[in-house]
Amino acid sequence: MPQHPEDDTSSLERARARLYKPVDIPRERTPLASSGERTLPHMWKEEVVLEQAPVKKERHVHLAGIFFMAAVTFFFIALGVAGYFFYFGGNTVSVDKITIDIQGPTTIAGGDTVSLSLVITNKNAVAIENAIMEIDFPSGTRDAANVLQAYPHYVETLGTLESGATVTRSIKAVVFGGTGQNVTLPISLSYRTVGSNAVFVKKSSYTLEISTAPLEVTVDALTETVSNKPLTLTLTVRSNASVPLSNVVLVGAFPFGFSITSSSLPLNNSSFLLGTLVPGASKTITLTGTLTGQNKEQRVFRFTVGTADTANNQTLAVTYMTQDVTVGIAAPFIDTTLSLNGDTRENPIIAPGSSQSVMLSYTNTLATTIENAVVRVALSGSAVDYGSIKTTSGFYNSADRTIIFSKDTDPSLATLAPGRSGVGAFSFSTLAAGAFSSSPTVTFAISVSGTRVGQANVPEQISASITKTAKVTTTVVLSALSLHTSGSLSNSGPIPPRAEQATTYSIVWNAQNKGSTVAGGIVSATLPGYASYTGLTTGTGAFTYDKGSRTVSWNTGDLAQGASARGTFQVSLTPSTSQKGSAPQLSGVASFSGYDRFAGVQVSATAEPVTTETKGDPGYVSTFGVVQ
């Protein structure tokens, strides 16, 4: 088969030519495809429509949020319903709708009468029942109508308070407290509601400020003392209350190193029982002791005053005031010790009408020498016999009643080296009982002076003084005698007495006080076995007889200065034949015992036994007392 010219092109080439031959494809402008379909042009002018499946959004259900919104909705609905019924609803009762209005003073003085006016109002829509008003007062509160009666609690049953009802009460009480103290009175109203057993309580309170304490204590003491030397504190307790205060107690807290040597009132475990103080009354206590410590130390005394529940228990139930006193300790430059009849106590006791021996020792306690040291002792007091003062190692100046120890009487005092000691002595007598006042004392005012070289090598004048007081006891004279034919009692029996026959006698005791007041005087004596107590008595005081001990006792009572007491009792004597020719005793030795209120000691006296010798009878002769 013949080939054509185009046959020179292979079939492969022809296919390639067709493939790459330009084709004029018309361009058609189509609108934007919708969201649901897209149209794509094709070279073969075929339209292919692609359909997109609709996208389905997932919806998540939040159950917790739904539950929370429902709960909040329910809460507000319930709150609204409750509020409606609480404030407007039928028979509900609220403590907020009960008011307690309190009117009274806000500031009082301790021990004043407090008047309170209470107004209770029920603003509830219904009545309240069994209403009880209560007020708690602080410890120590007294009843205004009877100040001796405690008033710790007020309670009153008010009963039923109708809706809108108002009750007014006036309450009075005597309230105590310390200065500046705020006293709160708790007030409560308890009640019930109709148809309920529950008890509801409305509470309130009232506050009072105490401007002044009903009791105050003041302390008078030196601000500085010498170690181991007597220190005296004067304590005064005063009542500022408008009513009597009972069981008043003063409690002391003493510092380390303080030892009590004497007290004007009994001390019980560091406390003083002062008893009852009427308004404006005061009591003073003198407390003496020694304070031991180092130089420049400070010690604090603390005293608290208040009241106790009972006189037997001195523990403070109510405290009103506390007073602190600071005392410094200083080293003495010359240490002196005065000994009275060998007694070195601060307040020794001496007898009237007796000779007294005094020794005074002195020592330089400084680390430097003291030059021209002088020690003076000035005597004073109503019991001193100034004409009896004598000294062998000093000089007595009668013009000012002073005994002086200096370099003129003791050359060692011209230069008293550190640690150097010396001794001075003198004597005097006390006046007899009855020759002085009811409070006889002897006071020794000791003063020391000298010159020392100071730290700057400059001479310094130094001095110090102390005082010591001795109390003089009283003298009681006791006498005893027997009577038969005279006296205030009628006696019987033969005189002279006869064996185996009864004769009665009067025994007369007489006690006379020469000095300070004596309390609780008692005279006693024992009867012999052959004499008996008849029970007949006369005179002052009271007689008692103890059969077991055969002791007759006579209570004289208190004896003032110069006072005397006389008492008589009767005994019956039946002498034995063995007593013929003798004058038998009717009683043993009579002894007197009493308490000297001033000196604070027991005093005593005795009288000789009495016999059948009735020397006090008119016309008595010696043979009248002899048993026949």
In contact, 513 and 563? CB cutoff 8 Å = yes
Beta strands per DSSP E along 76-152: 98-103, 107-108, 112-122, 128-136, 142-143
The CATH number of the domain where 165 resides is what? 2.60.40.10
Rg (CA), the chain: 55
Cα separation values, 388 from 385, 403, 426, 429, 430, Å: 6, 13, 10, 6, 9
Shared-domain flag, residues 494 and 594: yes
Q: Is 199 exposed, middle or buried (CB count within 10 Å of its CB: 0-12, 13-18, 19+)?
A: exposed
pLDDT band with cut points at 50, 70 and 90 for residue 434: confident
Two structure tokens written together for 178: 């310390």
Q: Are residues 284 and 150 in the same domain?
A: no
In a domain, 196, yes or no: yes
Work out how many domains the chain is built from and give that number: 4
Alpha carbons within 13 A on the beta-carbon side of 124: 23
The DSSP symbol for 254 reads: P
- Could you list the beta-strand ranges (E) of 394-440: 395-397, 402-405, 415-416, 421-430
Contact criterion met (CB below 8 Å) for 318 and 215 = no
Q: Please give the angle made by the CA atoms of 183, 188 and 193, to the nearest 5 degrees.
A: 175
Tell me if 4 is assigned to some domain: no
Contact residues for 93 (Cβ-Cβ < 8 A; gap 6+): 124, 126, 128, 193, 200
Percent of the chain residues topping a pLDDT of 90: 46
Tokens describing residue 395? 């000089």
The pLDDT assigned to 495 comes to 95
Separation CA 577–CA 575 (nearest Å): 7
pLDDT tens digits along 176-201: 776 777 888 999 999 998 877 888 99
Asked whether the predicted pLDDT for residue 52 surpasses 50, the reply is: no
Q: Which of 408, 443, 472 is where one domain is finished? A: 472
User: Across 19-23, 98-102, 136-140, 329-333, which has the greatest mean pLDDT?
Assistant: 98-102
Rounded Cα–Cα distance for residues 249 and 212 (Å) = 18
**pLDDT tens, residue by residue, 130-161:** 999 999 988 778 888 887 678 889 999 999 99
Strand ordering across the sheet containing 355-364: 334-340, 355-364, 421-430, 384-391
Contact 351, 342 (CB under 8 A): no
Which of 309, 330, 351 is where one domain is finished? Answer: 330
Provide the domain limits for residue 226.
215-330
The helix/strand/coil state of 549 is coil
Q: What confidence score (pLDDT) does residue 331 get? A: 64
Smallest Cα–Cα separation from 548: which of 569, 566, 533?
533
Looking at the structure, do residues 266 and 385 belong to the same domain, yes or no? no
Asked if residue 246 and residue 201 are part of one domain, the reply reads no
Task: Give the CA distances from residue 608 to residues 40, 481, 541, 587, in Å, rounded to whole numbers and listed in that order.
Answer: 162, 9, 21, 9
- Quick check: helix, strand or coil at residue 583? coil
Q: Which residue has the higher pLDDT, 148 or 573?
A: 573
Confidence band of 6 (pLDDT split at 50, 70, 90): very low
Residues 119, 174 within the same domain: yes
Q: How far apart are the first and last CA of the chain?
A: 221
Q: What's the predicted TM-score (pTM) here?
A: 0.47
With respect to residue 19, please indicate whether it lies within any of the assigned structural domains. no
Q: Looking at this protein, which amino acid is placed at residue 86?
A: F
Looking at the structure, do residues 219 and 275 belong to the same domain, yes or no? yes
Cβ atoms of 270 and 253 closer than 8 Å: yes
Q: Are residues 347 and 318 in the same domain?
A: no
